[in-house]
């Protein structure tokens, strides 16, 4: 049975959780951290810190208290599925490598899905005091201001974000080919280090587009809805519909989407 949830109430709850997590992150930022490698197969570069864990604990326990029947998928916690129609998708710290280097660009990302559809999303940058949110059908916002995607119509007037997977040293499927196709065509490229904020930046027009390979559901769930609600376009790199398990994502203002698909998939010169 699907239980109706009041949208304003749920959004306030999500904004509150992201604010709590943001305060926890800020209390650790630029201080000494405990850093562990999560996956030794990628040379130990995929890390988790005590800040990731503390922020995630606060978010997950807030959800468990308020919605004990809901399912939760959070990056640092083993997933337990009960078959609820509600699923929370959480990245407590997107941009951990930035954070561990005191590089000031990272976010908390929280999304809520109902029956497999993303219905609400919050991406917050506690350092810049910028919180992006969207509820399906109600538009996208940066703090209290409604946002929309940029109006760039050509790649040579576009600034494009991307990122590289943690296994980049061990596979040729590491985005270098795609990067080398796009770089010559665009006004500028950025590798900012937080996919959740990259999507939020597409939504607010700071970036005209963003693509990446091999992202995880928690990196993109909230950001996808925010781009959608800001009038942007989100597909996989081939222009096909995507879900949270897709091996690639392409998000743009819509106007440069076809050119981005063509460029990303350009045949190699003979
Ligand atoms: C990472 C960031 C980064 C992206 C990586 C992600 P994490 O998330 O979003 O921008 O390039 O692929 O894994 O590990 O900092 O939560
Ligand atoms: Ca992430
Ligand atoms: Ca993370």
Contacts of 244 (CB under 8 A, 6+ apart): 89, 217, 220, 221
Q: What is the mean pLDDT of residues 208-218?
A: 98
Q: Which pLDDT value is given to residue 40?
A: 78
Choosing from 35, 73, 94 the residue with most ligand 1 atoms within 8 A of its CB, the one to mutate for a pocket test is: 94
Give the confidence band of 42 by pLDDT, cuts at 50, 70, 90: confident
Choosing from 35, 105, 169, 194 the residue with most ligand 1 atoms within 8 A of its CB, the one to mutate for a pocket test is: 194
Give the confidence band of 235 by pLDDT, cuts at 50, 70, 90: very high
Q: Which pLDDT value is given to residue 221?
A: 98
CA within 13 Å, CB half, 104: 6
Supply φ then ψ for residue 31, to 5 degrees. Answer: -110, 170
Q: Is 118 helix (H, G, I), strand (E, B) or coil?
A: strand
Domains of the chain: which residue ranges? Answer: 7-147, 155-264
In whole angstroms, give the CA distance from residue 14 to residue 30: 26
pLDDT digits (tens, 9 = 90+) for 240-270: 999 999 999 999 999 999 999 999 998 876 5
Establish whether residue 109 lines the binding site of ligand 1, counting it when its CB lies within 6 angstroms of any ligand atom.
no
The distance between the two most distant Cα atoms of the chain, rounded to a whole number of Å, is 60
Q: What is the distance in A from the centroid of ligand 3 to the CA of 33?
A: 15
State the DSSP H helix or E strand holding residue 162, giving kind and residue range, or none if neither. none
Q: What is the mean pLDDT of residues 166-194?
A: 95
pTM of this structure: 0.96
For the record, the structure tokens of 127 come out as 């350092």
Contacts of 198 (CB under 8 A, 6+ apart): 161, 162, 163, 192, 207, 210, 212, 223, 251
The closest-lying atom of ligand 1 relative to the alpha carbon of residue 47 is 14
Which of 16-20, 46-50, 120-124, 138-142 has the least mean pLDDT? 46-50
Q: What is the distance in A from the centroid of ligand 1 to the CA of 10?
A: 26
The closest-lying atom of ligand 1 relative to the alpha carbon of residue 191 is 10
pLDDT(2) > 80: no
Domain 155-264 maps to which CATH number in 3.40.190.80, 3.40.720.10, 3.40.50.300, 3.30.70.20? 3.40.190.80
Question: Which residue has the least CA distance to atom 8 on ligand 1?
Answer: 94
> Comparing C-alpha atoms, which of 234, 5, 17, 10 is closest to residue 109?
17
For the record, the structure tokens of 130 come out as 């910028």
Q: What is the mean pLDDT of residues 187-205?
A: 98
The closest-lying atom of ligand 1 relative to the alpha carbon of residue 163 is 11
Residue 229 in contact with residue 195, Cβ under 8 Å? no
Domain 7-147 maps to which CATH number in 3.40.250.10, 3.40.50.2000, 3.60.20.10, 3.30.540.10? 3.30.540.10
Q: Which residue has the higher pLDDT, 80 or 75?
A: 75
Neighbours of 6 (CB within 10 A): 9
Q: What is the mean pLDDT of residues 60-89?
A: 93
Contacts of 243 (CB under 8 A, 6+ apart): none
Residue 190 in contact with residue 98, Cβ under 8 Å? no
Q: What is the distance in A from the centroid of ligand 1 to the CA of 157?
A: 26
Which of 130-144, 163-177, 212-226 has the least mean pLDDT? 163-177
Establish whether residue 76 lines the binding site of ligand 1, counting it when its CB lies within 6 angstroms of any ligand atom.
no
């Amino acid at each position: 049975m699907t239980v109706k949830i009041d949208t304003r109430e749920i959004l306030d709850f999500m904004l509150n959780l992201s604010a709590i997590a943001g305060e926890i992150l800020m209390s650790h930022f630029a201080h000494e951290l405990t850093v562990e490698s999560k996956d030794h197969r990628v040379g130990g570069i995929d890390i988790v810190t005590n800040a990731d864990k503390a922020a995630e604990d606060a978010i997950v326990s807030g959800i468990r208290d308020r919605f004990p029947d809901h399912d939760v998928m959070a990056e640092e916690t083993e997933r337990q599925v009960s078959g609820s129609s509600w699923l929370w998708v959480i990245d407590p710290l997107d941009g951990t490598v930035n954070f561990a280097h005191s590089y000031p660009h990272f976010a908390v990302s929280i999304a809520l899905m109902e029956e497999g559809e993303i219905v609400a999303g919050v991406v917050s940058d506690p350092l810049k005091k910028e919180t992006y949110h969207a509820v399906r059908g109600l538009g996208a916002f940066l703090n209290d201001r409604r946002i929309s995607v940029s109006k760039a119509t050509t790649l040579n007037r576009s600034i494009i974000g991307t990122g590289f997977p943690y296994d980049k040293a061990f596979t040729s499927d590491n985005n270098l080919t795609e990067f080398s196709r796009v770089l010559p065509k665009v006004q500028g490229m950025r590798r900012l280090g937080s996919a959740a904020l990259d999507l939020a930046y597409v939504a607010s027009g700071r970036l005209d587009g963003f693509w990446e390979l091999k992202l995880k559901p928690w990196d993109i769930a909230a950001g996808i809805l925010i781009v959608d609600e800001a009038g942007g376009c989100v597909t996989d790199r081939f222009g096909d519909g995507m879900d949270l398990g897709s091996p690639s994502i392409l998000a743009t203002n819509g106007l440069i989407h076809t050119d981005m698909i063509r460029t990303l998939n350009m045949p190699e010169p003979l």
